[in-house]
Amino acid sequence: MFNAEAYRRGAILDIEPKDFELCWRVGAFAGFLVGQAAARRMVTRGSGTILFTGATASLRGGANFANLASPKFALRAVAQSMARELGPRGIHVAHIIIDGQIGAEDTTSSPDSRLRPEAIAQVYLDLHRQQRSAWTQEMDLRPWVERF
């Protein structure tokens, strides 16, 4: 499972190139390296699961979020490419979009308005256990109150 990021908020006109590159290296390039290393081990045995965690920024960029959206878009593309290449070799690759806040409920919010860590973990385990005749490549997880 891969979910690393380095996010530095900034407007397009203000983002330092070194900050943009750092965010891309941590969020996209590192995902490629981790996925490649895992795949090399899994290919020899003909099975395994590689899960990449994305965010809403994997689907759309927002103002002041280029440093997050760019690597998340790229990681999604890496996951799609790996799934198509490695699936026939017995390796399940999936990209999971986490669209919402994670953690314990806060008293001002609606019940179940945040993603519970144990619920997320269960989904990841279920993805790992999926039968290969019906593998999921991409999944969105969001609480019922999240707008999309």
- Asked, for residue 146, whether it belongs to a domain, the answer is no
- Asked, for residue 112, whether it belongs to a domain, the answer is yes
Any alpha helices (H) in 13-140, and if so which ranges? 17-24, 30-45, 66-86, 117-129
Q: What is the CATH number of the domain that holds 134?
A: 3.40.50.720
Say yes or no to pLDDT of 100 above 90: no
1-37 tens-digit pLDDT: 777 777 788 999 999 999 999 999 999 999 999 999 9
- Asked, for residue 4, whether it belongs to a domain, the answer is no
SS3 content of the chain, % helix, strand, coil (to 5): 50, 15, 35
Q: What is the pLDDT of residue 36?
A: 98
Asked if 77 and 55 count as a contact pair (C-beta separation under 8 A), the reply is no
Question: Which residue did the predictor score with more confidence, 2 or 129?
Answer: 129
Range of the domain at 51: 17-141
- Asked, for residue 3, whether it belongs to a domain, the answer is no
Beta-sheet strand order (sheet of 138-141)? 48-55, 91-98, 138-141
- Asked, for residue 28, whether it belongs to a domain, the answer is yes
Average of pLDDT values for 110-124?
90
Say yes or no to pLDDT of 108 above 80: no
Q: Please, what is the end-to-end C-alpha distance for the chain in angstroms?
A: 25
CA geometry: angle at 20 spanning 19 and 26, to 5°?
85
Write a three-state SS string for 117-135.
HHHHHHHHHHHHHCCHHHC
Q: Number of structural domains, the chain?
A: 1
pTM for this structure? 0.90
- Asked, for residue 5, whether it belongs to a domain, the answer is no
41-85 tens-digit pLDDT: 999 999 999 999 999 999 999 999 999 999 999 999 999 999 999
- Asked, for residue 11, whether it belongs to a domain, the answer is no
